[in-house]
Chain A
Amino acid sequence: MEKLVALIPLFPLLGFLYITFFGKNQSKGTAGAIATALVALSFVLAILVFTTQLHGAHATFVKVLDWIHVGSFQVDLSFVVDPLSSLYILFITGVGSLIHLYSIGYMHDDEGFHRFMSYLNLFVFFMLLLVLGDNLLLLFVGWEGVGVCSFMLIGFWYKDHANNDAAKKAFVMNRVGDLGLILGMSLIFVQCGSLNYNDLMIGGSAIGHLGKWATLGAVLLFIGAMGKSAQFPLHTWLPDAMAGPTPVSALIHAATMVTAGIYLVARFSDLFTISEGASQLVTWAGVITAVMGASIALTQNDIKKVLAYSTVSQLGFMFAALGMGAYTIAVFHVVTHAFFKALLFLGSGSVIHAMGGEQDIRRMGGLKSHMPTTYWTFLVGTIAIAGIFPFAGFFSKDQILAHAMENNTVVFALLMLAAAGTAFYMFRMFYLTFHGEFRGTHEQEHHLHESPKTMTIPLVVLAIASTVGGFMGFPHAIGHAMHIEHALDHFLSGSIELTHSHMSVATEIALALISMAIAGMMILFAYNIYIKKATPVLEDAEINSPLHRLLWKKYGMDELYDNLFRKPIDALSAGLYHWVEQKMLLGMVDGSGDAAKGIGRILQPLHNGQIVTYLLAIIVGLIALIFAL
């Protein structure tokens, strides 16, 4: 059964090739249906593969092709099926096929529809390679591949250079992380002699040969993860990536690609466990990102930007969990987050669709009556991310908080703060969008409508998943008391070492209640401001208070990087080109040529062309020679 895994990435690849080369003749409906069906087919296979892992997990390797064999360097195109990868392929293909379906409706009027569907297929292919590869190099193939797809999809509307700039920024910043990953791979290969998971961790323990290099290796891998998963300080590309069409934001920049970093760290949990320093770094990067993302999201008015910063912040939560050794919990949060964040993005897409491209929540309001399905599903997503029982986000987030409480009080306090912020900004956005008076133009109001079925069906499915998805990871202590197993933990234990929490039932319940109470307070707070008092949101020019402005300007990170890296590098290369390249090096070469010419010119008068002079010189020389001898 596991052999089928080789087909899972194949289907989306076929979809990409088919639509790219033969798609022009197909109608939009057919092309969309093919793309969606192929991913759905992969999903079915993924379920089959997943079920093989349910009963007694064991890692299986499926080799497809010899790849790079050079001396001791042996890497194949080969897949691994184990709990971690099978879980990942399950939600990648699952959420992926829903978003494909959604895209048929969302992108229907776009002239680049075929191109869009083929890119999405290609993305799914690379994402599946990333998680299925049985070695770091194949992971890197997927890693870079999704980066390129992300580049193509962010800059999908390529006629506007703002989109292209965002795409380029995403790619280049990701490459900063990729360099870390390359170096990490190099270090691991040099020290351990293999890049295969089987040798490193699953079958053997070669990763231990890193010895004193373990921390460096872990940090380098984490730098890769930072780039891909938008962790501080490499997070600034993700909000800009919202320039792409909304399904892209949902699939790539919320549900799947950005969680590749978590996959990487979780996959190398053996390495991070032995390196205390790297784990600390992961925790703090996560915490800083979580707080920073949440605080910026408080002030953003673009519906997608709010969600983008929310994603940044949630990814921070996941990394904080990873750093504290709660690998399974982080993966759990990845899965629940994939559900509710994809739901929220698709919901926002539905809103943008109805608003005719408008993304500013200050121009929305009162959409509830116009688009009920979107409203209710969006509400589910909002509650889920805010962390209210029994929705999915509650379970995963609460377990991260529980781990933090056990490990480090400061981390716990900061994460709690970020969680509170999350509840507030999500409901702020929710109220501004769906409640109150409509604040857009008449034309827009006239145009408001519920989205077509292809778009609402994925919303409903994801809403259901966001509601019940959390039960796969019931909190330990309470679960133990109620004889409910933490299904996910148990399942993942085939791939990842578990770290058990030692919390008592009472503490766990208390924590859950406290965090829900805080979330509830924040929701009421938002309700009070935006519904009851109906405080209007400040226009951009009116933002005066320094703190507000700082947050609204995203801590000035973009400008900082511009001044710290882009401009100096451009100036440096221009300066090097002018001074070193043109003046110095070329000057030296031409200078040596000129010097030869100059010496010639000094001696030139001797050569006057009069044969007599030469003869005289010969004879005088001869006579001189005779006398000298």
Chain B
Amino acid sequence: MEILHNVTINHYLGLSTVLFALGVFGMLYRKNAIIIFMCVELMLNAVNLALVSFSKMHGDTDGQIFVFFIMVVAAAEVAVGLAILMMLYRNRHTTDTDTLNDLKG
């Protein structure tokens, strides 16, 4: 448990930043809608991590409450988002975002 004392807030934030960056780059580079979706989740969790870290550091629970909200919203998002993706796949037999450009002006 000693090692945990050496872990400062900076480590948590560093991890959080890395996770967030991974999410962003994943979103930009991957074509598969499900992967993109997972990347979004990744970013959310990165934020969650940062919030929990700050909560721990300041010793109040506000951050953790935020996190619960985010988790609830994320759960709802998963439910809706996956449903949309399901329908999308049923209609188009693909989740490749390059071919899904119907909103092209």
* B98 neighbours in A (Cβ, 8 Å): 610
Q: Tell me whether A607 is interfacial, beta carbon within 8 Å.
A: yes
CB <8 Å contact, A608 and B28: no
The answer, yes or no, to whether B57 is at the interface (CB within 8 Å) is no
Contacting residues of chain A (547-602) with chain B, CB-CB under 8 angstroms: 600
Closest to A607 in B: B105
B104 touches A607 (CB 8 A): yes
- By beta carbon, the residue of chain B nearest A610 is B101
Which chain B residues in 56-105 approach chain A with CB under 8 Å?
97-98, 100-105
Q: Tell me the count of chain A residues lying within 8 A, CB to CB, of chain B.
A: 14
Contact among B27, B36, B100, B104 with A608 in the assembled complex (CB-CB below 8 Å): B104
Residue numbers in A under 8 Å from B105 (CB-CB): 600, 603-609
Instruction: Please state if A607 and B28 are interface contacts (CB–CB under 8 Å).
Output: no
For the complex, is A481 an interface residue (Cβ under 8 Å from B)?
Answer: no
Is B24 interfacial (CB-CB < 8 Å)? Answer: yes
Spot the interface stretch: A148-156, A412-420, A611-619: A611-619
Partner of A609, one of B24, B28, B103: B103
Q: How many inter-chain contacts with C-beta < 8 Å in the A-B complex? A: 31
Contact of A610 among B24, B27, B36, B97 (CB under 8 A): B97
Cα A605 to Cα B102 in complex, Å, equals 14
CB-CB under 8 A for A612 and B101, given A619-B24, A619-B28: no
**8 Å CB contact of B104 from A600, A609, A612:** A609
CA distance A543 to B29 in the complex (A): 101
A600 to B105, CA, bound (A): 9
For A604, list chain B residues within 8 Å (CB).
Answer: 105
Q: Is the CB of B101 within 8 A of A615?
A: no
Interface class of chain B by DSSP = loop
A608 to B28, CA, bound (A): 15
Bound complex: CA A608 to CA B27 (Å): 17
Per the bound structure, the CA–CA distance linking A607 and B28 in Å amounts to: 17
B97, B101, B104, B105: residue with the most chain A Cβ atoms closer than 10 Å: B105
Known pairs A610-B97, A610-B98; A615 contacts B27 (CB<8 A): yes
Cβ contacts under 8 Å, B97 to chain A: 610-612
User: How far, in Å, is B77 (CB) from chain A's closest CB?
Assistant: 16
Q: Which residues of A contact B24 (CB under 8 A)?
A: 619
With an 8 Å Cβ cutoff, the count of chain B residues facing the other chain is 12
Q: In the complex, what's the smallest C-beta–C-beta distance from B50 to chain A, in angstroms?
A: 16
Residue of A with least CB distance to B102: A609
**Among A600, A603, A605, A608, contact of B101 (Cβ-Cβ < 8 Å):** A608
Closest approach, in angstroms, between the C-beta of B6 and any C-beta of chain A? 31
Q: Are B28 and A612 in contact (CB under 8 A)?
A: yes
The complex places the Cα of A606 from the Cα of B105 at a distance, in Å, of 8
Q: Closest CB of chain A to B12's CB: distance in Å?
A: 21
**CB <8 Å contact, A616 and B28:** yes
A604 to B105, CA, bound (A): 5
**Chain B residues with Cβ under 8 A from A611's Cβ?**
36, 97, 100
| CB proximity of B47 to chain A, nearest CB, Å | 14
Complex contacts, A600 vs chain B, CB 8 Å: 105
Q: Which among A606, A609, A615, A619 has the highest number of chain B CB atoms within 10 Å?
A: A609
Q: Measured between alpha carbons, how far is A603 from B105 in the docked complex, in Å?
A: 9
Closest B residue to A601 using CB positions:
B105
Q: Which residues of B contact A607 (CB under 8 A)?
A: 103-105
**How far apart are B75's CB and chain A's nearest CB, in angstroms?**
23
When C-beta atoms are compared, the residue in chain A nearest to B101 turns out to be A609
**Cβ-closest chain A residue relative to B27:** A615
Shortest C-beta distance, A77 to chain B (Å), equals 70
Complex: chain A residue closest to B36, CB-CB: A611
Q: Within 8 Å CB of A606, what residues of B? A: 105
Bound-complex Cα distance A607 to B104 (A): 6
Interface string of A30-58 (1 = CB under 8 A from B): 00000000000000000000000000000
Q: How far is the CA of A605 from the CA of B27 in the complex (A)?
A: 22
Considering residues A604, A606, A611, which has the most beta carbons from chain B within 10 angstroms of its beta carbon? A611
Chain A residues with Cβ under 8 A from B28's Cβ? 612, 615-616, 619
**Using Cβ atoms and an 8 Å threshold, which residues of chain B touch A603?**
105
Contact with A along B20-33 (1 / 0, CB 8 A): 00001001100000
Instruction: Offer 18 A-B interface pairs, CB within 8 angstroms, sorted by A.
Output: A604-B105, A605-B105, A606-B105, A607-B104, A607-B105, A608-B101, A608-B104, A608-B105, A609-B102, A610-B98, A610-B101, A611-B36, A611-B100, A612-B27, A612-B28, A616-B28, A619-B24, A619-B28
Give B contacts to A, CB under 8 Å. 24, 27-28, 36, 97-98, 100-105
The 9 closest A-B pairs by CB, nearest first: A609-B101, A609-B104, A607-B105, A604-B105, A609-B103, A611-B97, A608-B104, A615-B27, A610-B101
Additional pairs, 17, CB under 8 Å, beyond known A608-B104, A611-B97: A600-B105, A605-B105, A607-B103, A607-B104, A607-B105, A609-B100, A609-B102, A609-B103, A609-B105, A610-B101, A611-B100, A612-B27, A612-B28, A612-B97, A615-B28, A616-B28, A619-B28
